[in-house]
Structure 1
Amino acid sequence: MQDLKNIRLASKNLNNHAVRELFREAFVRPTEDAISHWNAVAGCTSLAQLARRAVIHTVEDINNDDDYQEESVEEEVEENFQEDVSALAKFPNLDSLLLAFSVPCLGSGHDSWWQDVLESVETRLERLRLVFNAIKTRQDAGNTKIHELTLVNLQNQPIPEFTGSDLFRDVMSQLDELHVQMVQECNNHGPDHDYTKIELQTFPRHFCSAWLSPIAANLRELSLYSRTDNWGPFPGYFDPSAISFPQLETLSLGYYTIAYDDQLDWLLSIKSLKKLVMHRCMIARRIRIANENMEQWKTSTRDWDSLHSDPENWCVAYAYHKCWSSLFEALAAGLPNLQAFAFDYPRNNGYYCDGDTREYGVESRHSMLSSIFPERYVVFDNGILPTHWPEAEESGVIHWPDEVPNFHKDHLEEDQKAVDNLLEVCRSRN
């Protein structure tokens, strides 16, 4: 940003280019400074016409994952924020919009009377409606249509009253790009209970039927990320196999986790795919689930081998034997148009990076690195805190109640060879 400001001083021609880039994105959040800048740009016709993307943060700091949220926005600031968001028509040439919520969230059935968050389920729903109404209003006025929508920190909460509305259908039907980063309820002081939350069981099916299925035929790009949690096999099984993506060229997945042989079948059926990004994607090699959760989740054990259960008989344990080498081989053979592939584990979450400058998140999906990282094999254990998905250390060691193989080292050579071959196949098609 500062470089662009400096370039403006170099020459008149460079100034024009720099101005176009500086005002290509319009940003607002519920603070006085951000609202003032948004209004200044919106009030200048020549600058407002330069904006191609609107970025809307519903809270001051979308990366704050503190459970305890006591701050509140002044009523006047909130009113001004809502008024400005409603006036998206002041930017006539927008074709892309990013809406970002706060990280901490509580499900509709939570019983934490002592705990509060900035945005309840109802508040998030109100802000979704606010933005979707603004998008529809500007489109009805004859402005450019929003064809790319990015949702950051979308709570994994089914909202059929919204997704079943004409407003939702009208806005979503104009999209050819959808990029979503999900968050789920997390109680840092009792995370062992988080996997009983009903949203984890119901949201994957709701997302497939309400969000993806109606617009899949139009999508050229799709991104599905979870901010910090493995997702895909359980508690709710993500199954888009009944959905066709005939025009999809770019697919990005974050923290997508494989525990069944057919979990990539839906992906392999997308023959139009040219670019595939898999960030922090893993294979679950050991699975230990409490008996009551097995019954409640109706978890399938297909493709799993039984292991000895805990002596106290509170859980069942399984082994899954799929390797990344076979999946890389399947991608190379099954996606005839694939020209670009990324398989990486960027450690920078935007708030913690451990010296890794690569960022993880739906907004960082364009990084095209590929590496064989130790965390590509993971385990699930209902009895371990603070996470049920303990990841491998740099050495490949995973902590599990019983000794488990070092999956990273055991499969390093074959996985490396397979991914190298996949990358070579992609390069040969360019």
Structure 2
Amino acid sequence: MEKVPNEVLDLILSHLTSHRKNDDLYQARLVARRWNQLATKHIFRTIILYNNCITAPVGFQSWHKLLGQESVRDTAQRVIIHTWPDDVRKDEGPSYYDWDKWEHDGEWPAFTSAIDRIIELDHLQALEIHFSPMCRGEESHWNEYDGTDDDREMPGERKAALEAVYKAVKQREARGLQENGARISPIRELRVNHLQNIHPPDVLVNGLLKGIERLDLNILQEKNSFLNYEDFKLPEKFQFDGILRNTILAPIADQLVELSLGAQYEWGLLPARFKGKGLKFPKLKKLKLDFYAIGYYDQIDWVLDQKSLTTLHLDDCQIVTHLHFNGEEEEWGISTDDWKNSNEDPWLRDEAREYYTFDLRWNTIFDKIRDDLPRLTEFRASWAELCGTKEDFSTRYIHFTTDDFPVPFVQVETLERMKGCKNGPWDVAHAAYGMDVAALEALKKTIYERRKEQSI
């Protein structure tokens, strides 16, 4: 291996890391001095500020020790900040957290000083902010539950974390503007994990998002007691899709090169619809959608309008083929223009009730993607998160019924078992399998031919 060029060895070592686990790279550092130098670059390219019951009580000493090494500061290109100690409840945790000061005044000196260390990272290019998976929405609705926030990261605490990060980012930029200042790389990538589905703080919309070219948002909704009927009807469920479009995405549409949108729930359809029509991303090359629910013919049109796309990933996106309400369609102001009224077969549990059907199928979407995105050279449609394997895509169709609140999106197989009529009129996935696969294969063939032409 002594004769292997550094460029080749560096490429080999880059494949030793998986899901930010660097055990193999740690071993590679022991082989030789040259291996150590190259492996170190990969190990510390991404560094993580952990916030938990081990790091917080001692003032995040391990983080400060890590950033005390010049080699780490010179290498780091991505920082992941965990804003919330998931392993601590406010009513049980030790006294090193002053929750009221953090939530209302943004004061947590030990944590904010740890965040400030990113000021020293000249080559930082990407930021990830990981919030807690537990949240609470509008204060006016807190009394509907137990009222406790002991296991939740509240809106004020999330805002405080964003403000601390933005303050550090601005101070880092200022270093590069000073006379004889350091050459500071711009931060062009932002990932926000568990972004709460409420109106975002101004520090995010008019602060951290400015200049971002690669954006990854994973959206979170409030969850309370198990199978809580009211969770699906919280105000933010009706408001956030519009906020996402108009407040978050539209102002930065001209600058985005990559965009990933996903949620911890089926989004984009009910109880409110994501209206992407008119959104133009002139520079967008890569788009990824997770758990996007489709129930209207034009719901995918905003994706097809992005003619600059070269990569499209649809992960766990589903078409809703049958919908049943108990009057909610009028209460929620839902358009039923694309749906057909039907009562030909009982809706579940052998009861004859009216419901809606939606006849869009995946073959139509695959055909449109093939025809309307002429620059597309990479495509993926996967339902692995829902069905466990990449090969199985039986969950590409789903049903919606308010009878099953608070989880109204129901897998087709579940309904079939309850009705006892496998491969019956509800089993759209089986009936559409042939034409869906044929359209997908045609799309893959077209993409393969485009890539082949580009390589010539």
What is the TM-score with the length of structure 1 in the denominator?
0.86
Amino acid at match of 1:249: K
Alignment of 1:322 onto 2:369: no
CA 1:70–1:295 in 2, change beyond 3 Å: closer, same or farther? Answer: farther
1:408 maps to which of 417, 424, 429: 429
Query: Structure 1 residues 285 and 399 mapped into 2: Cα distance closer, same or farther (>3 Å)?
Result: farther
User: In the TM superposition, what is the alpha-carbon distance from 1:316 to its structure 2 partner?
Assistant: 6.2
Aligned-partner Cα distance in 2 for 1:389–1:178: 27
Distance 1:151 1:71 in 2: 28
Deviation at 1:73, TM superposition (A): 6.1
Work out which of the residue numbers 249, 269, 274 in structure 2 matches 1:233: 269
Which residue pairs with 1:132 in the alignment?
166
Task: Encode CA deviations 1:255-301: one digit per residue, 9 max, x unaligned.
Answer: 0011000001100010000111111000000111231x323321111
Contact 1:391 1:398 in 2 (8 A): no
1:59 is matched with 84
Equivalent AA in structure 2 for residue 226 of structure 1: A
- Note if 1:422 corresponds to 2:443: yes
Residue 177 (structure 1) aligns with = 214
Cα 1:88/1:53, change in 2 over 3 Å: same
**Does the 8 A contact of 2:67 with 2:117 survive in 1?**
no
- Distance in 1 (alpha carbons) for counterparts of 2:228 and 2:341: 26
Unaligned runs of 5+ in 1: 349-353, 359-368
Which residue of the partner structure matches residue 250 of structure 2? 213
Q: Is the 8 A contact 1:147 1:177 kept in 2?
A: yes
Helix, strand or coil for the counterpart of 1:240? coil
Structure 1 residues 193 and 118, CA gap change in structure 2 (3 angstroms): closer
Q: Residues 217, 263 of structure 1: CA spacing in aligned structure 2 closer, same or farther, 3 A cutoff?
A: same
Q: TM-score, normalised by structure 2?
A: 0.81
Q: 2:198 is matched with which residue: 149, 157, 161?
A: 157
* Partner SS, residue 187 of structure 2: coil
Question: Does the residue aligned with 2:127 lie in a helix, a strand or coil?
Answer: strand
Q: Larger Rg: 1 or 2?
A: 2
Give the 3 Å change call, closer, same or farther, for CA 398–427 of structure 1 in structure 2. Answer: farther
Higher helix share: 2
Q: Give the C-alpha shift of residue 85 in structure 1.
A: 1.0
How far apart, in 2, do the equivalents of 1:276 and 1:138 lie? 34
1:343 matched to 2:343? The reply is no
Of structures 1 and 2, the one with the larger relative CO (CA 8 A, separation 6+) is 1
In the TM superposition, residue 12 of structure 1 has moved relative to its aligned partner by 1.4
Q: From the superposition, tell whether residues 330 and 388 of structure 1 become closer, same or farther in structure 2 (CA, over 3 Å).
A: same
In 1, Cα distance between equivalents of 2:221 and 2:287: 22
- Secondary structure of 2:409's aligned partner: coil
Q: After the TM superposition, which residues 104-143 of structure 1 pair with which residues of structure 2 at under 5 Å, given as runs?
A: 104-108=134-138, 109-110=141-142, 111-116=144-149, 117-142=151-176, 143=184
**Compared CA separation, residues 129 and 73, structure 1 to 2 (3 A):** farther
- C-alpha spacing 1:58/1:269, structure 2 compared with 1 (3 Å): same
CA 139–273 in structure 1, closer or farther in 2 if over 3 Å, else same: same
User: Residues 168 and 341 (structure 1 numbering): CA distance in 2 closer, same or farther, change over 3 Å?
Assistant: same
Q: CA deviation at 1:399?
A: 5.0
Quote the offset at 1:137 in angstroms: 2.2
Once the two structures are TM-superposed, the CA of residue 340 in structure 1 deviates from its matched residue by: 0.7
The Cα RMSD (Å) is 2.8
**1:13-24 alignment, distance < 5 Å:** 13-24=34-45
In structure 2, what is the Cα distance between the partners aligned to 1:130 and 1:290? Answer: 46
- What CA deviation, in whole Å up to 9, does each residue of 1:385-425 have, x standing for no partner? 5511111339x947579974211110111111111111111
Separation in 1 of the partners of 2:420 and 2:221?
26
Q: How many residues align?
A: 399
Does residue 273 in structure 1 map to residue 273 in structure 2?
A: no
Structure-2 residue corresponding to 1:351: none
Q: Tell me the equivalent position of 2:278.
A: 242
Match of 2:133? 103
Give CA deviations for 1:51-102 in whole Å, capped at 9, x if unaligned: 00000111234xx8x9x87554642695312221133202221110111111
Matched, 1:393 2:413: yes
Secondary structure at 1:41 match in 2:
helix
Q: Percent identity?
A: 26
Equivalent of residue 92 in structure 1, options 102, 115, 122: 122
